[in-house]
Amino acid sequence: MTEAEDREVDETVASTTPAELKQRIDSGENVFILDARSESDFEEWHIDGENVDVVNYPYFELLDEIPEDLHEQLPDDRRITVLCAKGGSSELVADNLEDAGYDVDHLERGMKGWARIYEYQELDVDVDATVAQYRRPSSGCLAYLVASDGEAAVVDPLRAFTDEYEQDARALGADIVYALDTHIHADHISGVRDLATETDATAVLPAAAAERGVDYDLAYETVTDGDTLSVGDVEIETIATPGHTTGMTAYKVGDVLFTGDGLFTESVARPDLEDPEAAKDAARTLYESLQEQILPLPDETVVAPAHFSDAATPNDDGTYTAELGDLVERMDALTMDEDEFVEFIVSDMPPQPANYEDIIATNLGQQSPDDEEAFELELGPNNCAASEEAMTN
């Protein structure tokens, strides 16, 4: 290495990986983030947490020098992590901050790198199978792996992480035999078709979901209320729970209920993503599904949803599940009468997920983005709950 090259390396600003930043946040460290994206991008989606301080200041205002009003917001006794969309602009901003005397690094690959974090945690449940939850912190998407006696099923897989499901099933000595969606998702690109293609698993959709105009280039099976699928030594029971969509379906394995977007640990589903004009009617359908299909189940039923929001509180192991009886006690929406429920649900719904119409069209098989385009489409929060705030007491 020449002297000039050595000097260039020495002057390169420090970087941190998305996994390292996530570990710092999870460990309770007081993290300070300078988000150098535009204000609109920041408002739509950013890293947050009880121990995270974040300041948004667009990078194009930081190219020449650090404005005085930003100096007043930056700590001089803590590390500052700068991030942007893809990692390039943040490195330049971090370099300028370092020249100004700050302890600083920048996030490799920016928010696109953050969106690649995917976490696996086995659930402590009384089921004759390994049941694992996958968490995508960037969007709040949850998926599940059920493995028993050499066979496995994946519920609500994401296209971007197909390889991880295969690897984890293989580590458990299982072959994936089913790839199931609870409904036509509006916030992420489904991995059902890719997983079925790569593993020879059977793709499974609720019949009512397929009736929305599914046009896949591979064979798939449909299920209706009461149908069962065998995976090793366990049965997956199908429970129709329309409301969020006409095809919304829960899957039950032992005491674990994969509720999709019908019921979350902090809220219930929004009813407007399939047909905004029919939101009130869908809310009534959701009420019936909750009252007739889900709430009669035993209190110890473990609700395992397809999403979590910033308002959700994780369990001690980082997972997002809750016993049904506990949710009934803490979520007033589950004990309202029908008219009160409907008005409550439609009164203050959050913004619709970004690109949701294109995502729905892709998940119906009507559009065919490549892997990178698909990944770009689903960046951002899920917004599938009826409220941005927790409905739980």
Each residue's pLDDT tens digit, 295-339 = 999 999 999 999 998 889 999 999 999 999 999 999 999 999 999
pLDDT at 167 over 70: yes
Q: Residue 288, Cα to own-chain centre: how many angstroms? A: 26
Burial of 63 (0-12, 13-18, 19+ CB in 10 A): exposed
Q: How confident is the model at residue 11 (pLDDT cuts 50, 70, 90)?
A: low
Full 3-state SS string of 119-184: EEEECCCCCCCEEEEEEECCCCEEEEEEEECCEEEEECCEHHHHHHHHHHHHHCCCEEEEEECCCC
pLDDT at 2 over 80: no
Furthest-apart CA atoms within the chain: distance in Å: 76
Q: Which residues contact 68 (CB under 8 A, 6 or more apart)?
A: none
* Strand ranges, E, within the chain: 15-16, 31-35, 52-56, 80-83, 104-107, 119-122, 130-136, 141-148, 151-155, 175-180, 202-206, 221-223, 228-231, 234-240, 249-253, 256-260, 302-305, 322-323
| Mean pLDDT for the stretch of residues 230-238 | 98
Q: Which residues contact 232 (CB under 8 A, 6 or more apart)?
A: 129, 147, 148, 149, 150, 151, 152, 174
| Mean pLDDT for the stretch of residues 357-372 | 96
Q: How confident is the model at residue 228 (pLDDT cuts 50, 70, 90)?
A: very high
Active site amino acids: 84
Percent of the chain surpassing pLDDT 70: 97
